[in-house]
């Protein structure tokens, strides 16, 4: 008996608006407890929600990039339940008339392209945060009313890799659309996973469980793998899977029950009488669609097609929006896409991967990176010295010209100095010189390297080579 | 209307009644629901697209953040701790 | 002219001509409140100190000859309208000590004119009821007979105006809560078109039906108050952008040719004979004034009370869920969140509020939603359609405001179904989002006032005020023991 997992997702993503979805409080992350609150988002009696146009625009953009149909008529509902992070005791959400219906996203997983269908995307408000203390829990409502979209997929996923590939793709697309910052460490995106197992080829699905609130790629992968393992064990031991909501414990790597189906909530959804339904015109939707920025795939095509960058480098660049933006802006400032791409993918990405820099918070602007590339391309500094200067730029934020000046990295083309250096190197290495002259020209590289090193980048390789050849052949 | 239904409604409503009160509430709610059953005498379907309360997208609020409220004033009807609302301990 | 019988227009002239100061005017009302309100219990909170300083502010503006229509005019405000720094209770134990940190939009508008706040008036708890006897405190009496109810839920405001403990007041109307107490207390009350007045700061009962409106001595005074509070509000997405008019502008224009519809169902056997005949003689009076009476029908009326209680109950159950004792309001005891909020809510809410919450949750709960709540929404569409059909043939509709005049305290409160059925004359107006005005049209054998209601087209308040005023010019008011002969 081969058990086959079927998985569906609900992904919550916070929208990058200035103000909250139903009031004018700042939608920024963090802040002193309850300092980004007002009578509306704190649920004071008598207050009313007023919908933010930008949040609606953003969910429409999200819908378009995921190939959804946008409803011409949409409305909001109340989802009623009591919880201390929900001051009104209802969450404003959407039930029968979400903004986006249908849709799909293609992903690469397990060596193939898979089309994952989207059921719906709706707009709702986030809840507050609880901090648990010894005796009591404390409620901070700063996050109450941050706009959220909930992306509900069809059960088209069959492995942890399917899930993580999709989540990463969605995250990237939302970032490119300018709709969500995708900062998982700040809880900007969270994923609920519904998993059931059944025999392959069977028409009936098994009992499903739902793992709630996964907020990192690693947690998603581990939770899915653990839940597949746990359910497999149960079924193979002849036990039943119980329909329940689970919590994934990062420390133990296991899931535990939050509530079973028996105490499933009756949310009593009904249309929120405080928020009028909205009707969109075709022109409004067209305008929003036209405002969608370039998506990762389009950038990839441009990098490979227009710039002739290798597919590998192009993938590395587009897979991080901040890096891709840096690249585009650098190329705008100094038009040398290929060296810029290879310098970014090799040198800058190494520093980032080593944890020496953060792609989202680089201490220099794109035009400074462009200047660095330009200095090397125009022979003002050696190509090797680019990485020296980059490290200094990363640690001090200084401009490339200043670093080159301070560290004396300019190529001087001082022929007397070159000649003197070459003479010294040749004198210090009689054996390789002998070998070269007897026809073993391979050692030229070694001698070249020695000269280069001694000159510390102050001469161009061409000038050194010319001098070295002259001396060796004389 | 039976006790089970009243118990379920009390759960949804977060209300407590003594057993004695519950009997009375059950009688009252029975009579009230009977009155509500009047709506079952007419055959009608609701079409939400035919309500006249829709607004245009252009009428929505522009996305501009304004200063928030003073937390002291906002929490003036409760006894806050560390600037937060105090809740009986929630089990994670 | 005696001060307490002066119209708002007259008070304006007296204040502007320095015949009286704003402070003197406010004190006149405080003296009366002190004398009569212990018996009538129309106010929950009296804001005398605040009022006298408000009056001094107003006086400055009057002295600068910069007065707005309500500058220096004392008003009573229903205690479900939030006033910054002033206790707002909804006549509930739940909010007995609740002090809002913000003002309702209507309060901001009135403050912009430098009005004088006399105090906050009693009401049925959370505006649920028609007698002001579901109030947890200040169970208001009827100024024509203190053994009778003042109506409700805005019973405090209606009584205060009826006993001249305020020249005018604001109430709120979800299913008749301005019009019915106005009729019981012999005063005029206007429920504006849904969306005409901002609901921001009105503690919600049923959001799709609630509307703030004036209760005053005349249609003209109602118009003056509506002028001050009407308009779109950035804090209320359901407020209408329709332009605000001068709602007193049509006053005095004759009503010749005006078509007044009398829907037969409102004059059925369930309406008290004395009420029916009094309203029908008022119709005759309109005919005499040149109006044309149109007979019509409203077949959906028999479903209206149920539809109203289903919609309002559902919304109320959700609106009142926020009262859990954590952020504000009565805080109960309990080790867990669940225990604590159950205790808060069980202690904080009275019996009628609890019934409405149970009913609302019943109507919305899984398995019942389609049969009850959704059906009620369908009925709402039918009621709107029937009103539209009537308005194709008529300009205004005339009905009794309530099936009876004010009844004895204790007579109905024990029977919720009887109480609910008494709302039959008023609820369809809220369901259809229409404006309506209730005005006295006679007194019954017990000397209790009888009210009639004029229902208008959406945003047709000016015509309603004109039509009501035309009748009031010839109407003889009976005084009560507080207003004297």
pLDDT digits (tens, 9 = 90+) for C348-383: 999 999 999 999 999 999 999 999 999 999 999 999
Within-domain flag for B12 = yes
DSSP C234-291: TTBTTS--SPP--TTTTTTS--TT-EEEEEGGGGSTTS-HHHHHHHHHHHHHHHHTT-
Q: Helices (DSSP H) in C270-406: which residue ranges? A: 273-288, 301-319, 337-348, 351-364, 375-393
Best mutation target among B10, B15, B63, B87 (most A Cβ atoms within 10 Å) is: B63
pLDDT digits (tens, 9 = 90+) for C403-453: 999 999 998 878 999 999 999 999 999 999 999 999 999 999 999 999 999
Distance from CA of C415 to the nearest CA of B (A): 8
Considering only CB atoms, which chain A residues are within 8 Å of B64? 18-19, 24
Q: Which of B57, B61, B84 sits opposite A138 (nearest CB)?
A: B84
At A262 the pLDDT is 59
pLDDT at A168 over 80: yes
Q: Which of C206, C318, C369 sits opposite A90 (nearest CB)?
A: C318
pLDDT digits (tens, 9 = 90+) for B43-82: 999 999 999 899 999 999 999 999 999 999 999 999 999 9
Within-domain flag for B68 = no
The closest alpha carbon to C89, from C54, C58, C130, C120, belongs to C120
The mean predicted confidence, pLDDT, of chain A is 93
CATH number of A415-473: 1.10.10.410
Contact by Cβ (8 Å): A5, A159: yes
**CB contact residues (below 8 A), chain C span 167-206, against chain B:** none
Within-domain flag for B53 = no
Q: Could you tell me the domains of chain C?
A: 1-485 (3.90.1300.10)
pLDDT digits (tens, 9 = 90+) for C303-349: 999 999 999 999 999 999 999 999 999 999 999 999 999 999 999 99
Within-domain flag for B89 = no
| Span C453-478, average pLDDT | 97
pLDDT digits (tens, 9 = 90+) for A28-39: 998 999 999 999
Contact by Cβ (8 Å): A92, A76: yes
**CB contact residues (below 8 A), chain C span 235-274, against chain B:** 237-238, 241
At C247 the pLDDT is 98
pLDDT band at B86 (very low <50, low <70, confident <90, very high): very high
pLDDT at C238 over 90: yes
Distance from CA of C165 to the nearest CA of B (A): 30
% of residues, chain A, pLDDT over 90: 77
At A409 the pLDDT is 84
pLDDT at B31 over 80: yes
Q: Which of C208, C327, C361 sits opposite A268 (nearest CB)?
A: C361
Interface contact A46-C361, CB threshold 8 A: no
At A261 the pLDDT is 63
At B24 the pLDDT is 96
At A263 the pLDDT is 64
At A1 the pLDDT is 64
Task: Specify the number of domains making up chain B.
Answer: 1
Each domain of chain A, given as residue ranges in start order, spans: 3-282, 294-406, 415-473
At B92 the pLDDT is 56
pTM for this prediction? 0.93
% of residues, chain C, pLDDT over 90: 97
At C356 the pLDDT is 98
- The boundaries of the domain holding residue B25 are 3-41
pLDDT at C1 over 70: no
Within-domain flag for B92 = no
| Span C221-238, average pLDDT | 98
**Residue of chain C whose Cα is closest to the Cα of B17:** C346
pLDDT digits (tens, 9 = 90+) for A174-214: 999 999 999 999 999 999 999 999 988 788 888 999 999 99
Within-domain flag for B15 = yes
Interface contact A268-C366, CB threshold 8 A: yes
Within-domain flag for B91 = no
Please give the positions of C annotated as active site.
78, 153, 177
Sign of CA dihedral A159, A164, A169, A170: positive
pLDDT at A260 over 80: no
pLDDT digits (tens, 9 = 90+) for A295-350: 999 999 999 999 999 999 999 999 999 999 999 999 999 999 999 999 999 999 99
């Amino acid at each position: 008996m081969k058990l086959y997992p079927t998985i569906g997702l609900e992904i919550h993503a916070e929208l990058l608006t200035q103000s909250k979805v139903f009031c004018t409080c700042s939608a920024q992350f963090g802040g002193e407890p309850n300092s980004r609150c007002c009578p509306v988002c704190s649920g004071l009696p008598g207050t009313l929600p007023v919908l933010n146009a930008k949040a609606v625009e953003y969910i429409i953009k999200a819908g378009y990039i995921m190939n959804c149909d946008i409803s011409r008529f949409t409305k909001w509902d109340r989802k009623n339940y009591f919880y201390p992070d929900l001051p009104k005791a209802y969450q404003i959400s959407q039930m029968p008339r979400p903004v986006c219906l249908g849709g799909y996203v293609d992903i690469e997983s397990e060596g193939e392209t898979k089309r994952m269908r989207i059921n719906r995307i709706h707009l709702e408000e986030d809840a507050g945060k609880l901090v648990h203390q010894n005796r009591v829990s404390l409620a901070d409502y700063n996050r109450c009313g941050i706009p959220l979209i909930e992306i509900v997929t069809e059960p088209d996923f069959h492995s942890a890799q399917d899930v993580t590939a999709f989540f990463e793709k969605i995250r990237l697309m939302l970032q490119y659309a300018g709709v969500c910052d995708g900062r998982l460490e700040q809880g900007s995106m969270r994923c609920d996973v519904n998993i059931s197992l059944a025999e392959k080829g069977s028409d009936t699905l098994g009992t499903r469980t739902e793992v709630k609130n996964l907020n990192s790629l690693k947690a998603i992968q581990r939770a899915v793998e653990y839940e597949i393992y746990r359910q497999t064990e149960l079924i193979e031991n002849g036990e039943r899977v119980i329909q329940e909501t689970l919590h994934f414990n990062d420390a133990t790597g296991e899931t535990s029950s939050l509530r079973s189906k028996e105490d499933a909530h009756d949310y009593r959804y009904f249309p929120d009488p405080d928020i009028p339904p909205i009707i969109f015109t075709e022109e409004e939707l067209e305008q929003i669609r036209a405002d969608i920025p370039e998506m990762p795939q389009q950038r990839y095509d441009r990098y490979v097609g227009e710039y002739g960058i290798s597919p590998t480098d192009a993938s590395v660049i587009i897979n991080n929006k901040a890096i891709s933006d840096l690249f585009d802006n650098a190329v705008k400032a100094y038009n040398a896409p290929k060296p810029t791409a290879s310098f970014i993918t090799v040198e800058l990405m190494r520093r980032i991967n080593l944890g020496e820099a953060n792609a989202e918070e680089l201490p220099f602007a794109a035009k400074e990176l462009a200047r660095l590339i330009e200095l090397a391309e125009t022979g003002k500094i050696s190509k090797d010295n680019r990485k020296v200067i980059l490290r200094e730029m990363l640690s001090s934020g200084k401009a490339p010209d200043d670093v080159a000046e301070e560290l004396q990295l300019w190529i001087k083309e001082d022929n007397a100095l070159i000649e003197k250096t070459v003479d010294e190197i040749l004198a210090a290495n009689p054996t390789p010189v002998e070998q070269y002259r007897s026809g073993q020209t391979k050692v030229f590289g070694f001698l070249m390297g020695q000269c280069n090193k001694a000159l510390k980048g102050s001469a161009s390789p061409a000038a050194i080579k010319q001098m070295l050849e002259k001396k060796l052949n004389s | 209307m039976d006790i089970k239904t009243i118990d379920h409604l009390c759960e949804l409503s977060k209300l407590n009644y003594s057993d004695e009160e519950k009997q009375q509430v059950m009688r009252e709610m029975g009579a009230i629901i009977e009155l509500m059953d009047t709506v079952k005498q007419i055959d009608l379907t609701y079409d939400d697209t035919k309500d006249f309360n829709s607004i245009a997208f252009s009428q929505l609020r522009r996305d501009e953040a304004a200063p928030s409220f003073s937390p002291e004033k906002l929490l003036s009807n409760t006894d806050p701790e560390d600037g937060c609302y105090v809740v009986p301990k929630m089990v994670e | 002219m005696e001060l307490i019988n002066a119209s708002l227009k007259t008070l304006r002239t007296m204040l502007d001509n320095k015949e009286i100061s704003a402070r003197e005017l406010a004190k006149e009302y405080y003296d009366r409140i002190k004398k009569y309100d212990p018996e009538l219990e129309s106010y929950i909170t009296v804001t005398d100190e605040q009022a006298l300083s408000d009056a001094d502010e107003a006086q400055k503006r009057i002295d600068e000859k910069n007065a707005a229509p309500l500058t220096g005019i004392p008003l009573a405000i229903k205690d479900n309208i939030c006033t910054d720094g002033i206790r707002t209770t909804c006549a509930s134990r739940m909010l007995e000590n609740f002090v809002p940190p913000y003002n309702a939009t209507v309060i901001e508008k009135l403050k912009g004119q430098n009005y004088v706040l006399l105090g906050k008036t009693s009401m049925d708890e959370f505006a649920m009821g028609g007698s002001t006897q579901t109030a947890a405190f200040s169970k208001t009496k009827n100024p024509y007979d203190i053994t009778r109810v003042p109506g409700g839920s805005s019973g405090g405001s209606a009584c205060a105006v009826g006993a001249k403990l305020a020249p005018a007041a604001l109430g709120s109307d979800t299913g008749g809560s301005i019009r019915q107490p106005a009729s019981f207390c012999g005063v005029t009350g206007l429920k504006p078109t849904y969306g005409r007045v901002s609901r921001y700061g009105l503690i919600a009962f049923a959001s799709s039906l609630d509307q703030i409106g004036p209760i005053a001595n005349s249609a003209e005074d109602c118009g003056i108050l509506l002028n001050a509070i009407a308009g779109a509000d950035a804090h209320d997405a359901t407020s209408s952008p329709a332009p605000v008019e001068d709602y007193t502008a049509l006053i005095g224009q004759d009503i010749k040719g005006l078509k007044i519809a009398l829907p037969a169902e409102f004059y059925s056997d369930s309406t008290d004979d004395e009420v029916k005949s009094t309203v029908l003689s008022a119709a005759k009076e309109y005919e005499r004034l040149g109006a044309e009476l149109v007979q019509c029908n409203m077949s959906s009326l028999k479903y209206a009370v149920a539809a109203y209680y289903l919609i309002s109950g559902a919304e109320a159950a959700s609106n009142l869920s926020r009262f859990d004792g954590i952020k504000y309001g009565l805080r109960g005891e309990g080790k867990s969140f669940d225990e604590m909020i159950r205790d808060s809510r069980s202690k904080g809410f009275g019996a009628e509020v609890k019934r409405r919450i149970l009913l609302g949750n019943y109507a919305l709960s899984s398995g019942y939603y389609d049969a009850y709540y959704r059906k009620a929404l369908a009925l709402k569409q039918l009621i709107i359609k029937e009103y539209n059909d009537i308005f194709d043939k008529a300009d205004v509709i005339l009905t009794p405001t309530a099936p009876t005049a004010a009844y004895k305290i204790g007579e109905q409160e024990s029977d919720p179904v009887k109480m609910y059925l008494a709302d039959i004359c008023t609820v369809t107006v809220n369901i259809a989002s229409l404006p309506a005005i209730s005005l006295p049209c006679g007194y019954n054998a017990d000397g209790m006032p009888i009210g009639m209601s004029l229902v208008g087209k959406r945003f047709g308040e000016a015509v309603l005020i004109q039509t009501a005023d035309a009748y009031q010019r010839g109407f003889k008011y009976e005084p009560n023991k507080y207003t004297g002969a």
